[in-house]
Amino acid sequence: MGGRHSSLKSTGKIRAKRNVLKRFERIDILTKGGRWKPGDKVLGLPKTKGVE
């Protein structure tokens, strides 16, 4: 069979820097910064910087 398409690279390289975070990742960042605490709403979270 032929080679893979260039967009199907190994998942290890995706970890470098992502612009879109999962909700739980954003909550972790906001919690560490004191901008979110348990019991706060999880929809409409403030923007966060991407993780590296």
Q: What pTM value is reported for the model?
A: 0.60
CA distance 42 to 35: 12
pLDDT digits (tens, 9 = 90+) for 13-28: 555 677 888 999 999 9
- Residue carrying the six token digits 């979270």: 45
24-44: average pLDDT: 92
Checking if the pLDDT of 34 tops 90, the result is yes
Per-residue confidence band for 3, with pLDDT thresholds at 50, 70 and 90: confident
Per-residue confidence band for 52, with pLDDT thresholds at 50, 70 and 90: low
